[in-house]
Amino acid sequence: MNQQEKMHDIIGVGVGPFNLSLAALLDEIDEVDSLFFEQNDKFDWHPGMLIEGTKMQVPFIADLVTMADPTNKYSFLNYISKNERMYQFYFLQRLDIPRREYNDYCQWAAHQLPSCQFSHRVIDVQHIKDNEEYFNVAVLNLKTDETNVFKTRNLIMGTGSVPVMPKSFKGLPDEDVFHTADFLSYQDGCRNAKSVTVVGSGQSAAETFRELLKEQRDCGFRLDWITRSPGFASMEESKLSLEHFSPDYVNYFYQLPQEKKDEIFATQGLYYKGISNHTINDIYNLLYEYSVGQEELDAGLQVLSEVKDIQPKADGSGYELTCFHWQKKEEFKHESDKVIVATGYKPYVPDFVHQLEDFIEWDEEGRYKVEEDYRLKKKQPASNEIYVHSGISHTHGVGSTNLGLSVHRNKVIINHLLGREVYPLPKKSIFQSFTV
């Protein structure tokens, strides 16, 4: 282990869109010495779900910098301009850019940011009290296998989320039973299968089903979609509902008592978990087209049914799914060669954060406590802060993973880090009021 002597102002763990936005904004601020470590060898935003035709669920204005400073060189429009696509983008007349383009834009920005170091995994963090207080951050270089220890006054956690797979679906061959997060890696295998089943009914499930439905007739596989939900519910996308993803709602939500927050958050699933209307329309239109002149479609959509277990068939020809219709209380079996599991993501809090238990305050549910300005609550006063982007739904609510709030959050963090108002914050940014 090599101890580096230089003291940084802030070190970022993970380079997803949230920390990349912070890196881009800090690039303009000379007085802050920042470093960001990402374990992947390049910026890549949910690569398994960069399906052609999928688009961002926020307008391109929610890029890395525009909401703080539209003149910043890392803006999406500057990316378009530098790539000489201004007229094509102008004639496209869309706010909701392709997901693949958002990824390409972020890669373009990341390439220009010397503070972002890829193929580096943060493996440990210790709070040190010498003459000076600071964090020691142990970072494994995945290319050289060397570990360096960096000193920093502050940390920012941007470790995002990881796919969730029910225990009973695990231990089967990855290429046959896999999470939507790996869809593009295993899509080819689906083309050669006799039957494919998608389990779950969020946006990722719908996008995967739509993509498979487009190919199904050419490839000849049977396609099924099973969900335990009572229906394929649409996401709440009206303009006034979208105002829940605003600084005003975050501020209102933050002030509520924790029990109230937990109660409210549990009722807000359709703000972020449902399926976009346009995706449901695409699927319905395809099903309608395919049904013309057909007695029966080679596709099934089954609601109210939980997949409890997946087992390989005795003759080795695919898998048997044990399903349970929870309203009729009836078990049934379903067979499929491939099963694509769309059971969502959970926030990723690395173990080394849990090991800072003497430094950080935790609630009764084992979640860290977070100050309004995104600093973890400390047990004792210290001159160092750990800011967080991830795992804050319980404190900051439904917009915690929404990209439309990323720049706002980074403005709050930068103002605190520098101890002055670098970016003025809006007093009221939406039409409705959440508080009196």
Ligand X SMILES: Cc1cc2nc3c(=O)[nH]c(=O)nc-3n(C[C@H](O)[C@H](O)[C@H](O)COP(=O)(O)OP(=O)(O)OC[C@H]3O[C@@H](n4cnc5c(N)ncnc54)[C@H](O)[C@@H]3O)c2cc1C
Closest distance of CB 406 from ligand X, Å: 8
What is the spatial distance between Cα 133 and Cα 407, in angstroms, rounded to a whole number?
Answer: 29
Residues 327, 286: Cα–Cα separation, whole Å: 29
- Least Å distance between CB 194 and ligand X? 27
Which CB, 227 or 276, lies closer to ligand X?
276
CB of residue 11 to ligand X, shortest distance in Å: 10
Strands 305-312 and 319-325: antiparallel
Q: What 3-state DSSP class applies to 80?
A: helix
* Three-class HEC string of 162-198: EECCCHHHCCCCCCCEEEHHHHHHHHHHHHCCCEEEE
Nearer to ligand X, 98 or 312 (CB): 98
The nearest distance, CB 37 to ligand X, in angstroms, is 5
> Smallest gap, in angstroms, from Cβ of residue 123 to ligand X?
7
- Contact positions vs ligand X (CB under 6 A): 13-14, 16-19, 37-40, 45-46, 49, 56-58, 121-122, 158-161, 204, 345, 348, 350, 389-390, 401-404
β-strand 305-312 against 299-302: which pairing, if any? Answer: unpaired
Question: What three-state secondary structure class fits 379?
Answer: coil
CB-nearest residue to ligand X: 160
Cα–Cα dist 298/260, whole Å: 46
Q: Which of 323/403 has CB closer to ligand X?
A: 403
Eight-state DSSP code of residue 380? S
Closer residue to ligand X, CB minimum distance, 39 or 229 = 39
Sign of CA dihedral 391, 392, 397, 400: negative
Residue type for position 396 = H
Nearer to ligand X, 279 or 402 (CB): 402
Nearer to ligand X, 157 or 321 (CB): 157
User: To the nearest whole angstrom, how small is the minimum distance from the Cβ of residue 329 to ligand X?
Assistant: 33
What's the Cα-to-Cα distance from 20 to each of 63, 110, 112, 351, rounded to whole Å?
10, 7, 11, 22
Three-class HEC string of 238-265: CHHHHHHHCHHHHHHHHHCCHHHHHHHH
**Which residue, 190 or 353, has its beta carbon nearer to ligand X?**
353
Q: How far is the CB of 149 from ligand X (least distance, A)?
A: 14
Q: How far apart are the first and last CA of the chain?
A: 55
Are 190 and 212 a contacting pair, CB within 8 Å?
yes
- The residue (of 157 and 323) whose beta carbon lies closer to ligand X is 157
Give the shortest CB-202-to-ligand X separation in angstroms: 9
- Closest approach of Cβ 289 to ligand X, in Å? 26
Task: Kindly state the smallest distance separating residue 32's Cβ from ligand X, in Å.
Answer: 19
- Closest CB to ligand X among 159 and 279? 159
In the complex, minimum distance from the CB of residue 203 to ligand X, in angstroms, rounded to a whole number: 7
Instruction: State the DSSP string of 424-435.
Output: ---S--SSS-S-
For 70, the 3-state DSSP assignment is coil
Half-sphere exposure of 32 (CA within 13 A, CB side): 26
Burial of 84 (C-beta count, 10 Å sphere; 0-12/13-18/19+): exposed
| Choice between 137 and 310, CB closer to ligand X | 137
Task: Decide whether 152 or 401 has the Cβ nearer to ligand X.
Answer: 401
The CA–CA distances, whole Å, from 53 to 50, 76, 210, 220 equal: 9, 19, 10, 22
